[in-house]
């Protein structure tokens, strides 16, 4: 097990831990045949934020089962670092962890608005957060970070590989016909098939998974109320 119970406070420390996490091979998780509780978490910052240290941020977290919201939580704190591509954990990791840990009911798997192995050191925030929380995770983003691949067919459930240096690290996944596909990223204890299955199980009437939509709504509502 990777020792990852805290968040590094330096670029060097985070880079070393990311490489360690990328090499880790924890036991795989598989989605059960029954309905299961799917979580989502999302961070937003104050309007006009420039991606610098000490900006105030809000994280929302939600757990959904069969389209029913079972639990929600919000956390807020100042960012300990600047935004840098590939180092998102320095800025958002502790904030997301606080929101998920505040949930009165823990999810069985967590969707994160971040990448997994589509990352310069193979361990984006979706994977890192799962290791810290000891939860299976999958990343869902609007676009890949470094990987590239063609869009899939215009059919719900269709997917196509996203590759980085010749290795498949994620996929484009179509959740609704005539809607832009989502970039799906295996995270902690999930492979690509499992990550896609979780995302499809969490999609409601629109293209984005319901737990992530609710987490985003919570974070933005908290920001509006300051």
Cβ contact 89:22 at 8 Å: no
**pTM passes above 0.85:** yes
Which ranges of 30-153 does DSSP label H, i.e. alpha helix?
88-101, 125-133
Domain limits of the chain?
11-22+35-225
Distance CA 226, CA 215 (A): 16
The two tokens of residue 25 are 């091979």
Q: Provide the CATH topology of domain 11-22+35-225.
A: archaeoglobus fulgidus dsm 4304 fold (3.30.2170)
The pLDDT tens digits for 31-68 are 999 999 999 999 999 998 999 999 999 999 999 999 99
- Judging by DSSP bridges, how do beta strands 137-141 and 182-186 pair with one another? antiparallel
Distance CA 79, CA 97 (A): 13
Distance CA 17, CA 3 (A): 9
- Kindly state the DSSP code that residue 209 receives in the 8-state scheme: B
Residue 5: what pLDDT? 54
pLDDT, averaged per 10 consecutive residues of the chain (226 residues), comes to 69 96 97 97 94 96 96 96 93 97 98 98 98 98 98 97 98 96 98 98 94 98 92
Residue 32: what pLDDT? 96
Residue 1: what pLDDT? 43
């Amino acid at each position: 097990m990777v020792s990852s119970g805290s968040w590094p406070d330096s670029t060097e420390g985070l880079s070393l831990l990311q490489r360690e996490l990328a090499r880790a091979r924890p036991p795989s998780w598989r989605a059960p045949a029954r309905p299961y509780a799917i979580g989502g978490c999302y961070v937003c910052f104050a309007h006009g934020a420039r991606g610098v240290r000490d900006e105030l941020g809000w994280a929302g977290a939600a757990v959904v089962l069969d389209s029913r919201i079972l639990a929600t939580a919000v956390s807020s704190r100042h960012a300990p670092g600047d935004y840098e591509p590939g180092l998102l954990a320095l800025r958002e990791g502790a904030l997301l962890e606080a929101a998920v840990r505040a949930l009165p009911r823990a999810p069985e798997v967590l969707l994160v608005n971040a990448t997994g192995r589509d990352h310069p050191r193979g361990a984006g925030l979706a994977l890192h957060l799962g290791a810290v929380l000891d939860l299976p995770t999958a990343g869902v983003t609007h676009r890949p970070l470094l990987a590239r691949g063609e869009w899939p067919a215009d059919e719900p459930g269709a997917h196509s590989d996203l590759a980085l240096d010749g290795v498949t690290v994620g996929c484009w996944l179509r959740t609704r016909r005539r809607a832009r596909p989502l970039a799906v990223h295996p995270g902690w204890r999930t492979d690509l098939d499992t990550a896609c299955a979780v995302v499809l199980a969490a999609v409601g009437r629109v293209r984005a998974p319901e737990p992530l939509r609710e987490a985003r709504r919570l974070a933005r509502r908290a920001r509006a109320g300051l």
